[in-house]
């Protein structure tokens, strides 16, 4: 299996000292997980390598024969302005460092004394280059409004513009190795999004999914990191964890908002250092998997309340995507219903029924707290009771009782219902306004409108007749 090249662009190291190039390569691979590396011992060949290879970052020595690092820095910034440059010098010279920064260098480090700072500096530069490339990709996609790989999203049934924007964003961030936070209410399909992101990334490893809700700290560590033989009572043999199983693929951690604070520390170390310790082992292993997490919680609020670590929150939200709830994607409801009815029919060996037009109106006025998962359950339940001809709406009506059909007010508690600079309507006028709105939402269907208003259909019919009589008099 071919290992994933990390980062997506190449890092070119230019130095006339071969031993230093070897030691720097080993440090970058061992401590940062970077293996997309190029070495150059002759500074005159550097520009040719940049032209031929997908170089995004150059680590450049200053003191070299033929072409000095300072001269090469000027040429790189002029001919390849998108390529970042970090200066690595054998001397700690403030004036030289300032001059190099002014010429366009990203940072300046001393060889012999600053390996820790150098590795961290390279990480920062890689993250900034990845962000720049993603922003460029997003601008292209939103300007052209296209998807490069629409086939990847075939399992996600939608025609919603908001979802299309989500797909475009996923295509832009797919090449990155940084974590992705997928947020959204329960049932919106966050695991499908993780699967699409994995497919887009073209990583050679597999997608490994773990629901971390309810896992205590020891079980979480054992699940993710595995254990060595004899790590605890009953550990008769070593077991690899989910991180190792994911390999060069994607590790998807669902319900991350329910993770305990102790487990959050372990996850933070995995993300920051790219390494972990199996239980009972003192030898670290390097993670090659990209981490994708999902939650229905508001992590920003949880970190404010102290339930979620701030450092982990900001580490996870480098790339963030929110999946809109089904009630904000009403155009998708008929598509999803048709898909689920066909799916249920095939499973139950029944022909797909004719769907009454009123059903789409009924469902459009329901808030769907369970989102797509709930709609699927409703479709399967209706299909299991279906006999022939037109699909009955009875099972849907039973499930969508008056309270849930009307739904809860979505406005902020402090938001005014009526404009403060206009006079209040009378009770009769307000009642007429409610009736008119219910009839508009129900597209003239009195049965659905009465459910929205929480009154009986005869009572609504009486109000409509009285309103019509008042209008004609």
3-state secondary structure of 253: strand
Confidence of residue 21 (pLDDT cuts 50, 70, 90): very high
Q: Is 241 among the domain residues?
A: yes
pLDDT at 412: 47
- Residues 449, 388 share a domain: no
* Interval 151-178 mean pLDDT: 92
Domain containing 46 — which CATH number? Answer: 3.40.50.2300
Task: Say how many domains are in the chain.
Answer: 4
Output the six-digit token pair for 183. 């947020």
In angstroms, rounded to a whole number, what is the distance separating the alpha carbons of residues 280 and 242? 16
pLDDT at 415: 57
Q: Is 312 among the domain residues?
A: yes
In angstroms, rounded to a whole number, what is the distance separating the alpha carbons of residues 204 and 194? 15
Q: Is 250 among the domain residues?
A: yes
- The phi and psi torsions of 107 (rounded to 5 degrees) equal -160, 175
- Residues 315, 332 share a domain: no
- Residues 38, 23 share a domain: yes
- Residues 289, 214 share a domain: yes
Q: Over 70: is that where the pLDDT of 330 sits?
A: yes
Q: Over 90: is that where the pLDDT of 38 sits?
A: yes
Q: Which residues pair with 14 in a beta bridge?
A: 40, 60
Question: Domain boundary residue among 104, 133, 162?
Answer: 133
- Residues 197, 70 share a domain: no
List, for residues 401-410, the tens digit of each pLDDT value.
Answer: 644 555 544 4
Output the six-digit token pair for 449. 């409108």
- Residues 391, 434 share a domain: no
**Residue found under tokens 């009770």:** 427
Q: Which residues pair with 210 in a beta bridge?
A: 253
* Domain limits for position 395: 327-406
Please name the residues in contact with 429: beta carbons below 8 A apart, sequence gap of 6 or more: none
- Residues 188, 109 share a domain: no
List, for residues 191-208, the tens digit of each pLDDT value.
Answer: 999 999 999 999 989 999
- Residues 164, 128 share a domain: no
pLDDT at 1: 46
Domain containing 350 — which CATH number? Answer: 1.10.8.60
- Residues 227, 85 share a domain: no
User: How far is C-alpha 43 from the chain's CA centre?
Assistant: 41
In angstroms, rounded to a whole number, what is the distance separating the alpha carbons of residues 158 and 149? 15
């Amino acid at each position: 299996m071919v290992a994933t090249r990390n980062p997506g662009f190449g890092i070119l190291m230019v130095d006339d000292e071969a031993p230093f190039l070897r030691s720097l390569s080993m440090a970058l691979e061992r401590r940062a997980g970077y293996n997309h590396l190029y070495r150059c011992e002759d500074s005159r060949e550097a520009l040719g390598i940049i032209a031929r290879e997908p170089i995004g970052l150059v680590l450049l020595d200053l003191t070299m024969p033929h072409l000095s690092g300072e001269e090469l820095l000027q040429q790189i910034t002029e001919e390849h302005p998108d390529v970042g440059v970090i200066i690595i010098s054998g001397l700690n010279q403030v004036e030289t460092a300032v001059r190099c920064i002014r010429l366009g260098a990203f940072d300046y480090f001393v060889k012999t004394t600053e390996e820790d700072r150098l590795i961290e500096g390279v990480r920062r530069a890689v993250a900034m280059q990845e962000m720049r490339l993603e922003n460029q990709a997003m601008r292209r996609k939103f300007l052209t409004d296209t998807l490069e790989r629409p086939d990847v999203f075939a399992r996600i049934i939608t025609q919603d513009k908001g979802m299309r924007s989500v797909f475009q964003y996923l295509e832009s961030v797919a090449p990155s190795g940084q974590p992705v936070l997928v947020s959204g209410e329960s049932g919106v399909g966050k695991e499908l999004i993780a699967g699409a992101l994995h497919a887009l990334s073209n990583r050679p490893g597999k997608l490994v999914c773990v629901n971390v809700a309810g896992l205590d700290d020891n079980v979480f560590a054992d699940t993710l990191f595995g254990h060595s033989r004899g790590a605890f009572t009953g550990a008769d043999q070593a077991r690899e964890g989910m991180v190792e199983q994911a390999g060069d693929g994607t590790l998807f951690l669902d319900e991350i908002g329910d993770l305990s604070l102790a487990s959050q520390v372990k996850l933070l170390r995995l993300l920051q250092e790219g390494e972990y310790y199996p239980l009972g082992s003192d030898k670290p292993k390097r993670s090659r998997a990209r981490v994708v997490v999902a939650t229905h919680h508001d992590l920003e609020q949880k970190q404010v309340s102290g339930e979620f670590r701030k450092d982990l929150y900001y580490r996870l939200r480098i790339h963030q995507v929110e999946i809109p709830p089904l009630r904000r994607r009403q155009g998708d409801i008929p598509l999803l219903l048709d898909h689920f009815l066909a799916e249920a029919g095939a499973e139950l060996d029944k022909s797909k029924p004719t769907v009454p037009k009123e059903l789409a109106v009924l469902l459009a006025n329901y808030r769907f707290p369970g989102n797509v998962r709930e709609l699927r359950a409703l479709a399967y339940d209706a299909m299991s009771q279906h006999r022939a001809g037109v699909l009955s709406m009875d099972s849907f009506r039973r499930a969508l009782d008056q309270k849930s059909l009307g739904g809860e007010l979505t406005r902020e508690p402090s938001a005014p219902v009526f404009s403060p600079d206009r006079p209040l309507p009378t009770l009769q006028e307000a009642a007429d306004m409610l009736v008119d709105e219910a009839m508009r939402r129900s597209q003239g269907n009195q049965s659905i409108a009465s459910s929205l208003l929480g009154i009986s259909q005869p009572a609504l019919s009486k109000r409509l007749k009285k309103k019509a009589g008042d209008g004609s008099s």
